[in-house]
Amino acid sequence: MDFPVLYLRKGAERRLRAGHLWVYSNEVDTQRSPLPGFEPGAQVQVRASNDKPMGVAFVNPHALICGRLISRDADHGMTPKRLTDRMEAALSLRERLFDKPFYRWVFGDSDGLSGLVVDRFDDVVVVQISTAGMEQMKDAIVRAVQRLAHARIIVLKNDGKMRKVEGLDTYVEFAHGPEADTVLVEENGARFEVPLAGGQKTGWFYDHRMNRQRLQAYAPGKKVLDVFSYVGGWGIQAACAGASQVTCVDASSSAVDAVHHNAKLNGLENVDTIEGDAFDALKALADEKEKFDIVVLDPPALIPRRRDQKAGEQAYARLNQLGLRLLERDGLLVSASCSMHLSQEKLIDIIRGSGRKIDRFVQLLEQGHQAPDHPIVPGIPETDYIKSCFVRSLTGFF
């Protein structure tokens, strides 16, 4: 098949050769291949400055990431069959990993499907398309989901911020099956009912699954504070594992209502909530001299862009100081982050500094990462974004 050619500047092919899949607009030789000449979502052959073919990519001349490699074979791009084959390969991995059909089925570049995320909730499948190239494959994606998972409901949750960057409209559409407001999730022995069309992202965050599982080992008999709780993912799993009392904090009234609903769903009577800004709630609890055995901090990305690095790191420091202040003498801080621009090493350093600032002796017990249904591609650091630290805090010990 003949593809239009996107030429790279001299040396710009090094990242692709090292395993990355993205081409930035400033890496394109715009003299040989002017970006305005390409249609958003078209497939192009990418060539190095010496004319050596690098593969086939989806192109979008209006985006900073203007090329996303979808094949290392420069003669064959993305077809409905290739898409279905990759979705089937991704599905076979998840079926080996988990005994129930609740997982992230497709994780974008990590599964060779840049711009596509698919979450499975048994017979309900939520699809997120974030690029112009993958938008052109929409019908093929729906057919592949029907064929491979026999889904009762398929939701296209195409309302993410990335779509605006790509020049795409945002929408939520039930592509197959009846419309539904909520979907049932099972994770680590707990059940949750989460919003479908109106929820955050796909309605659930599978990425911290293994870290929430680890929390259960520490939870029996403990008083737990779950901050940025959303629908209670950490806190309710801690309560199911035997925590004596759980308090969930979230700014969203609908999320707080969902926490109470999910507590009842699991037969729990020891879960309460605080509705409000997390930082304000933590300060108020400290003023009231409240103490907890376990404090879980799982904020949204506080460093959404690289230019937010300094302010974001300061926010993580304030948050961790507040969390440490609320711990009993021998307490556990679970500090999590989904900010790609915050490394595990930097998060540990922030916790260290936070402990020193309030005179706490801290011990790093465990480090957690994203669940294996969010595989990391070593050549693409952007696929490695989840981290968590399980930290024991001691007062007056050293």
CA dihedral 199, 200, 206, 210 (to 10 degrees): -110
Residues 352-373, buried b or exposed e (16+ Cβ, 10 A)? Answer: eebbeeeebebeeeeebbbbbb
- Tell me which H or E stretch contains 22: strand 22-24
pLDDT above 90: residue 126: yes
Looking at the structure, do residues 60 and 115 belong to the same domain, yes or no?
no
Looking at the structure, do residues 88 and 61 belong to the same domain, yes or no?
no
Is residue 268 a part of any domain in this protein?
A: yes
Is residue 229 a part of any domain in this protein?
A: yes
3-state helix, strand, coil in the chain (%, to 5): 35, 30, 35
Angstrom distance (rounded) from CA 256 to CA 278: 13
Angstrom distance (rounded) from CA 199 to CA 128: 13
Q: List, in order, residues 6 or more apart from 82 with CB less than 8 Å away.
A: 71, 76
What is the amino acid identity at position 72? R
CA atoms within 13 A on the CB side of 280: 6
Tens-digit pLDDT profile for residues 36-67: 999 999 999 999 999 999 999 999 999 999 99
Tens-digit pLDDT profile for residues 162-192: 899 899 999 999 999 999 999 999 999 999 9
Q: Which one, of 182, 311, 320, 368, lies nearest residue 257 by Cα?
A: 182
Residues 101-120, buried b or exposed e (16+ Cβ, 10 A)? Answer: bbbbbbbbbbbbbbbbbbbb
Is residue 259 a part of any domain in this protein?
A: yes
Looking at the structure, do residues 357 and 275 belong to the same domain, yes or no?
yes
336 close to 387: Cβ distance less than 8 angstroms: yes
Angstrom distance (rounded) from CA 202 to CA 147: 21
Q: Which one, of 55, 66, 56, lies nearest residue 27 by Cα?
A: 66
Angstrom distance (rounded) from CA 381 to CA 377: 7
Angstrom distance (rounded) from CA 96 to CA 381: 25
How many structural domains compose the chain?
3
Residue 308: CB atoms within 10 A of its CB come to: 15
Phi, psi (5° rounding) for residue 55? 145, -170
Alpha-carbon distances, residue 251 vs 256, 257, 269, 273, 395 (angstroms):
8, 11, 22, 10, 30
Tens-digit pLDDT profile for residues 363-380: 999 999 999 999 999 999
Looking at the structure, do residues 256 and 363 belong to the same domain, yes or no?
yes
What's 12's domain CATH number?
2.30.130.10
Looking at the structure, do residues 65 and 91 belong to the same domain, yes or no?
no
Looking at the structure, do residues 233 and 171 belong to the same domain, yes or no?
no
Is residue 213 a part of any domain in this protein?
A: yes
**pLDDT band of 398, cuts 50, 70, 90:** low
Angstrom distance (rounded) from CA 185 to CA 180: 14
For the segment 228-237, the average pLDDT, to the nearest whole number, is 97
Structure tokens at 339: 């900010």
Q: Which one, of 179, 138, 136, 393, lies nearest residue 128 by Cα?
A: 138
Looking at the structure, do residues 11 and 150 belong to the same domain, yes or no?
no
Is residue 200 a part of any domain in this protein?
A: no
pLDDT above 90: residue 199: no
Looking at the structure, do residues 357 and 218 belong to the same domain, yes or no?
yes
Is residue 165 a part of any domain in this protein?
A: yes
Looking at the structure, do residues 221 and 309 belong to the same domain, yes or no?
yes
SS3 270: coil
**pLDDT band of 300, cuts 50, 70, 90:** very high
Looking at the structure, do residues 253 and 222 belong to the same domain, yes or no?
yes
Strands 387-395 and 360-369: antiparallel
58 close to 78: Cβ distance less than 8 angstroms: yes
pLDDT for 84 equals 98
What's 96's domain CATH number?
3.30.750.80
Which of 71, 100, 127 is the last residue before a domain boundary? 71
Residue 213's domain spans which residues? 185-195+205-394
Looking at the structure, do residues 39 and 122 belong to the same domain, yes or no?
no
Radius of gyration of the chain (CA): 23
Q: What is the largest CA-CA distance in the chain?
A: 71
Looking at the structure, do residues 61 and 94 belong to the same domain, yes or no?
no
pLDDT for 395 equals 80
The neighbouring-strand residues paired with 361 are: 394
Is residue 271 a part of any domain in this protein?
A: yes
Start-end of H helices in 304-370: 309-325, 344-357
Tens-digit pLDDT profile for residues 61-74: 999 999 999 999 99
Strands 102-107 and 65-71: unpaired
What's 250's domain CATH number?
3.40.50.150
Angstrom distance (rounded) from CA 230 to CA 200: 9
Tens-digit pLDDT profile for residues 321-359: 999 999 999 999 999 999 999 999 999 999 999 999 999
**pLDDT band of 397, cuts 50, 70, 90:** low
pLDDT above 80: residue 201: no
Angstrom distance (rounded) from CA 15 to CA 69: 12
pLDDT for 142 equals 98
